[in-house]
Structure 1
Amino acid sequence: MARIGMTVSDTVLISVVIPTYNYAHLLPRALDSVLSQMADDIELIVVDDGSNDNTADVLAGYVEQHPELNVIWQANAGAAAARNRGIRNASGRYALMLDADDELLPDALAALREVVAAQPQVGMVLGAQISVFPDGRERLRQPAPVPSASPLELARLYLLQKRISISHCCSLFRRDLLLKRPYPEVLRNGEDIPVFTYLLVSAPVVVTEVPLARIYKHADSLRHRRDNEEEYAIGMVREVFAGLPAECQSLRRRYTAQRYLSLFRAAQNAGDHAQARRFYRHALCVSPLQVLRWGYLRKGLRLLVGG
């Protein structure tokens, strides 16, 4: 591991961690959005995940101008490994994970500082975001309210009903919880879901309507890829429930069925009807209730009867 520009302080409240891989052309936007808000209780850590563009040159230039910037280099290991490395090397009570192609909004860190000062035991702060689409359109998205409920109910609302939304860049996490439940490095995408679920059920959550970040949407997002999709779905279920308390384990079959329903929808959209039928049958065997709740019954029956 190579590291430059290191400072350590016992008074750090928020560590902003930026994992980056071949984003030299966009990284300055993210860096500037944080550096403009720097204070004695803020630290900025960038983890270069083995970039082979000119990321190293960009970061070297920033360190020359901003010696407080911490830069860590590692061989390419994926976003999960980069986030974990940054969290382990951070010193703040809280961590904000900023993607290299996104940016914080002005005064975002000041707003978060006020929230945690008022509620110091909070485990997660969910803020608003501005979504920026490829055509330049912007949309303000407010976070959904998070009820005071049992871990089982919170997991159900997040995993099965999707009534709670959590995103990087506009969320703040207590770092000790991230150390207890690191991002699963066996997942090369979607690695945030197991972590978000664990955070949700482990400590109080506060919602703020203050917009914290501008998040840029990309048409080539990994979530649209279908390679190794079934293996990924099974691994996702395993990682999600590995970190959850015993009372939440009753949701495992329904969540497994939901992952297969997602595979069913992707296969159907791709015109792969044979795979779609197989995924639908599997979901139906695992949890008929979840299949009915998801409203896929009509599509599934039509596919089964037709083939």
Structure 2
Amino acid sequence: MQVDVVTAVHASHAAFLPAAWRSLLDQSHAQWRWVVQIDGPPDEVRAVLTACAAMDDPRVVVASHGTSEGPAVTRNVALGRTAAPFVQNVDADDELEPDALAVLTTALIDHPGAGYAVGHARDLMADGLLVDHPLPIPAGVLPRGALLPTWKTSPTEYRVPVHPAGVMWRRSLLLALGGWSALQGMEDTGVLMAASAVVEGVLVDAPTLRYRRHAAQRSKQTSKFAGGGAQIALIRERAAVLSAFPPWNRV
């Protein structure tokens, strides 16, 4: 099954792209295409991709829109360039585990009623060490609405039950939800909670994402509670509205 892997990138994170590219080359699932969308000036990003030979691979398609719009808009522009039934996000500074595409596509094929699949995320430290984190929910089918009650959003304890940046989506569900949410630093959490409100998902019992920890990462720069409380309330309210609708059915 074909998968389009979407990466939004700006110049400050261009140096991480070769590692993301190598993680795609290592995939046990070979039917993928890398849809890279450049946010802001493109020259540095294109130079990095050229130097690592990614631009020589016909499976790599790169585009830029010239202006600086942020990750949500950039991912959605990339989404408009996809065509595969499954869409996998990978941030420019992260990596996919070697079996990520294989286990996530298998999960969606085996569970035709599921709209998304996600695995475990491991922190990738600067020294290359991978740090596992136990999840608060068991692997298997995630019933409709299961994620919202397990999303901890107090100022003293913030935790999303699964890592929203490593989700594989049915493209038709992403389109139905309007793509990634127009939020600051929570665009992937917003769409994940909306998805959970309308359809079941699958949590696979395997690591699929390597989440790089570094000083420049955006999640460290934007506090969830410096104006984020209103965003959290909006995500929760939207999920409550969606949960009252009939369940989403794939087309």
Which TM-score applies when normalising by structure 2? 0.78
Aligned partner (choices 35, 59, 69) of residue 77 of structure 1? 69
- CA–CA separation in structure 1 for the residues paired with 2:121 and 2:198: 24
- Assess if the C-alpha contact under 8 Å between 1:166 and 1:196 holds in 2: no
Pick the aligned partner of 1:57 from 47, 55, 59. 47
- Once residues 24 and 246 of structure 1 are traced to their aligned partners in structure 2, the CA distance between those partners, rounded to angstroms, is 37
Partner of 1:166: 163
Tell me what 1:109 maps to: 101
Q: Which amino acid aligns with 1:106?
A: P
Which deviations, in whole Å up to 9, do the C-alpha atoms of 1:52-104 show, x marking residues without a partner?
Answer: 66212223454542022111212210011111111121112221110111111
Alignment partner of 1:14 is 2:3: yes
Per the alignment, residue 230 of structure 2 pairs with 234
Relative CO higher for 1 or 2, CA cutoff 8 Å, sep ≥ 6? 2
Partner of 1:253: none
1:283 matched residue in structure 2: none
Tell me the amino acid that sits aligned with residue 191 of structure 2: V
CA contact (8 A) 1:88 1:179 kept: no
Measure the CA separation in 1 of the matches of 2:28 and 2:164. 22
1:192 and 2:188 correspond: yes
User: Contact conserved, 2:122 with 2:132, CA < 8 A, in 1?
Assistant: yes
Partner of 2:106, secondary structure, is helix
Which runs of no fewer than 5 residues in structure 2 stay unpaired? 245-251
Asked if 2 retains the 8 angstrom alpha-carbon contact of 1:26 and 1:101, the reply is yes
1:91 aligned to 2:83?
A: yes
Measured on the aligned residues, the alpha-carbon RMSD in Å equals: 3.1
How many residues end up aligned between the 2 structures? Answer: 235
Per-residue CA distance 1:126-165 (angstroms, 9 max, x = gap): 21222123455421235432776563x6422225585722
Amino acid at match of 1:14: V
Contact 1:96 1:168 (8 Å CA) reproduced: no
Separation in 2 of the partners of 1:228 and 1:108? 28
1:28 and 2:18 correspond: yes
Unaligned runs of 5+ in 1: 1-11, 249-307
The answer as to whether partners of 2:125 and 2:214 remain within 8 angstroms in 1 is yes
Q: Matched residue of 2:36: which SS?
A: strand
Identity of aligned residues (%): 23
What are the within-5 Å matches in structure 2 for residues 260-299 of structure 1? none
Between the aligned partners of 2:55 and 2:123, the Cα distance in structure 1 is 32
Counterpart-to-counterpart distance in 2, 1:208 and 1:123:
14
Which position in structure 1 is the counterpart of 2:33?
A: 43
Q: Which AA in structure 2 matches 1:20? A: V
Q: Flag the structure with larger Rg.
A: 1
| TM-score (ref. length: structure 1) | 0.65
Q: Higher strand fraction: Structure 1 or Structure 2?
A: 2
